[in-house]
Structure 1
Amino acid sequence: MSELMVSDESKTTAEARRSPLRIGMVAPPWFALPPRGYGGTEAVVASLVDGLVDRGHEVVLVASGPHRTKATEYHRVYDVPPTERLGEPVPEVVTAAEAARVLAEADVDLVHDHTLAGPLLARGRRQPTVVTAHGPVVGEDGLSLEKLGSSVDVVAISDAQRRLNPNLNWVGTVHNAIDVSSFPYRAAKDDYVLWLGRFSPQKAPDLAIEAARAAGRRIILAGKLNEAPERRYYEERVAPLLGPDAEYVGEADASLKRELLSGAQALVFPIQWEEPFGMVMIEAMACGTPVVALRRGSVPEVVADGVTGLIVDDEAQLPDAIARAQELDPTDSRRRAAADFDIPVMAERYERVYRMLVEGTRSIRDLTGDDAAVEIAA
């Protein structure tokens, strides 16, 4: 009679996979976690913290503002987030300094840093440092991550983002996520389509208005309009197009955003740049609202063309897509959001990244599919 022999090393690895991790999480200083309105990165970090704690891990969080997450330990940098100073270097430096102090004493297994300045400290610590590339990875943004080399392991938020700069020390792709259950599902829609975002040429609200008007649909616009370039773009390109069939309702808080998304016949997403990930797309799908978008950036990874939305290659094709969007089954959008872009899914995929690095088995993996990670490069 033979026995299955399990080595001590295999037992140790199995035990490590089952044991909780202690994770140092560093958030940008600009908005509280979760943010009340604008703050996409902060929303993702807050969701990830809660998802990891729900999976049994300990999270030591360094952030600003009131403590509103499930973090095991919370270390506040600023009592009031310095939102009005967004982009200034000093709040980033102060956050990095506080994170260095806290994490030196926290006995964490690894650090996940979502800030700009914080990853500069990675080379001096013994634990792995994971950095999620929330923004562009080309130009100076990409150069800063390139210069960090192997001192950090970089996670992409889409495969499209990763392809833009193969020189980074990529460890995998993990799509962003939302709390799908917090978004109301509606099968019966109202008589408008929606544009939701930041007023800029990259987001092209003016194109959304023109496409909706050509399709004979009323459009509602809601978005961030408090920085000088945004106000200038709005006044020059958007305001002249407004009218009875095109209405701007202001910046949408969490409640208004859900109301608008759930009632819309479609979300119009005429993106003009290689955006690494558009959160509003998965928010719309969670509400059962299809996405009509241009084929740029992460769009083909997020939207199932002909199922949860319609993807077109040219702006001239947008009106026809808007007209056809209401033919799609809203349950398909909700189902895809729950299956691929819910918080537990994101937390599980990040945990796989963490385990891989803590155990020293690093390889670049695609973690956006099912439980069997597909190795795509060594």
Structure 2
Amino acid sequence: MVSATGLPGRRGTLRIVMVAPPWYEVPPRGYGGIESMLAELIAGLSRRGHEVTLVAAGRPGTSARFLRTYASPPSGRIGQALPEVLHAARAHDLLAGIDADVVHDHSLAGPLTAAARTAPTVVTCHHEVDGEFGEYYRALGREVSMVGISAAQRRLAPDLNWAGVVHNAVETGSFPFRERKEDWVLWLGRFNEDKGAHLAVDAARAAGRRILLAGRITEPGEREYFDREVAPRLGPDAVYVGEADAVRKRELLAGARCLLFPILWEEPFGMVMIEAMACGTPVVALRRGAVPEVVADGLTGFVRSRPEELAEAVEAADGLDPRACRSRVRRRFDVEVMAEGYERVYRAAAAGPEGPAGVTGGTGEAVLPLR
């Protein structure tokens, strides 16, 4: 499919349909990493002159043309199959009347309808790519062009139909920069055991630092983990401050001496790391998943291999330059960089097999062959 302004030429306007997951609004009012990324990407693509249509649940909150699948997001049913499938069916029906150059699908079930679309489908893989998720994406075959959010993620399943890697990003200017920090450290995220909140408390306590913990506790598994591993560790030097909305999150990230990110799984990205660094706050993390791609060890934080090494890194983080953290985000993880990377992916997908030979993630760091 070719746009009226000359796609796949390098400068023509693209007509892009963005399909969000059904669980939260875009942008989210509280937690919602994918939805936050989507809102930023839509803004970046719109600034580059592209026409974006968003298919999502809830209320419109971006500059994109909005098509609704659910009046209210079914957030209380996360993990159930039917809301995801119904969302995909409604999105398919809504897209029947849309003339698009590319469909960028961020939902789980939506790519199942890719073969019925006239426009090519690009899928950003926000999940792990091993196990059943990998088998699912493998079964989709060449009906979709896969985009990884880190090179580490792609390496876990190199046989998938990868079109490239584009790192997630933030609007750097929307995060407050603070050079002078408070005398506490921060953990922020979902209270899933793989996120390592209990290890963050242990590391902060070993370093003699007070730690604040902010995050969501809504699912049964999150409550069970919090009650078992986190609550017994709380005290005057380890305080749970509740779930943080966008404003509170920025206050916490800007004020902390460092962000602790002691993940226990191969996390494909980790948005909170670049959000912290955008505020001038270094990150102390375990060497899993995309962490080494995101944190410049010794410059914007410290990357360690074992939990017992984190306490020393927390103390050393005081010596890092907050300006270096902010600068790295602006150069490598800003929305404009992400939008440029996706634009290249879209043009390559729209051009088809005879189009450009490769795409980049925008920074030049993650350059992967197309097909």
Alignment match, 1:87: 79
C-alpha separation between the residues in 2 aligned to 1:296 and 1:368?
A: 23
Is 1:367 matched with 2:361?
Answer: yes
Alignment match, 2:42: 49
Is 1:17 matched with 2:6?
Answer: no
Q: Offset of 1:102 from its aligned partner?
A: 2.2
Structure-2 change in CA distance of 1:164 and 1:15 (3 Å)? closer
Alignment match, 1:129: 121
The TM-score with structure 2 as length reference comes to: 0.95
Provide the alpha-carbon RMSD of the alignment. Answer: 1.6
| Larger relative contact order (Cα-Cα within 8 Å, sequence gap ≥ 6) | 2
Q: Offset of 1:48 from its aligned partner?
A: 1.1
Q: Secondary structure at the match of 1:233?
A: helix
State the Cα deviation string for residues 321-370 of structure 1 (Å, max 9, x = none).
00000100000000111111111111111001011111222545442524
Is the 1:365–1:373 Cα contact (8 Å) retained in structure 2? no
C-alpha separation between the residues in 2 aligned to 1:155 and 1:15?
A: 19
Structure-2 change in CA distance of 1:291 and 1:340 (3 Å)? same
C-alpha separation between the residues in 1 aligned to 2:190 and 2:153?
A: 20
Work out the percentage of aligned pairs sharing the same amino acid.
57
Is the 1:185–1:288 Cα contact (8 Å) retained in structure 2? yes
Work out which of the residue numbers 202, 207, 232 in structure 2 matches 1:210. 202
Within a 5 Å distance, the mapping from 1:1-378 to structure 2 comes to 16-71=9-64, 73-360=65-352, 361=355, 363=357, 365-370=359-364, 374-376=367-369
C-alpha separation between the residues in 2 aligned to 1:324 and 1:212?
A: 12
Q: Secondary structure at the match of 1:310?
A: strand
Q: Secondary structure at the match of 2:52?
A: strand
Q: Runs ≥4 in structure 1, deviation > 6 angstroms? A: 12-15
C-alpha separation between the residues in 2 aligned to 1:190 and 1:368?
A: 34
- Output the amino acid matched with 1:55: R
Structure having the higher Rg: 1
The gaps in structure 1 that reach 5 residues or longer are 1-11
- Output the amino acid matched with 1:46: A
Q: Offset of 1:373 from its aligned partner?
A: 7.8
Q: Secondary structure at the match of 2:264?
A: coil
Is the 1:170–1:364 Cα contact (8 Å) retained in structure 2? no
State the Cα deviation string for residues 40-87 of structure 1 (Å, max 9, x = none).
11111111111111110111111111111010x211111111111112
Number of positions where the alignment pairs a residue of Structure 1 with one of Structure 2: 365
Q: Offset of 1:313 from its aligned partner?
A: 1.1
Q: Secondary structure at the match of 1:249?
A: strand
Is the 1:171–1:362 Cα contact (8 Å) retained in structure 2? no
Q: Offset of 1:190 from its aligned partner?
A: 0.3
Is the 2:182–2:257 Cα contact (8 Å) retained in structure 1? yes
Q: Secondary structure at the match of 1:17?
A: coil
C-alpha separation between the residues in 2 aligned to 1:62 and 1:215?
A: 46
The TM-score with structure 1 as length reference comes to: 0.93
Structure-2 change in CA distance of 1:151 and 1:368 (3 Å)? same
Q: Offset of 1:15 from its aligned partner?
A: 7.6
State the Cα deviation string for residues 257-315 of structure 1 (Å, max 9, x = none).
11111000000111100000100000000000000011110000000111100111111
Q: Offset of 1:243 from its aligned partner?
A: 1.0
C-alpha separation between the residues in 2 aligned to 1:375 and 1:234?
A: 39
The gaps in structure 2 that reach 5 residues or longer are none
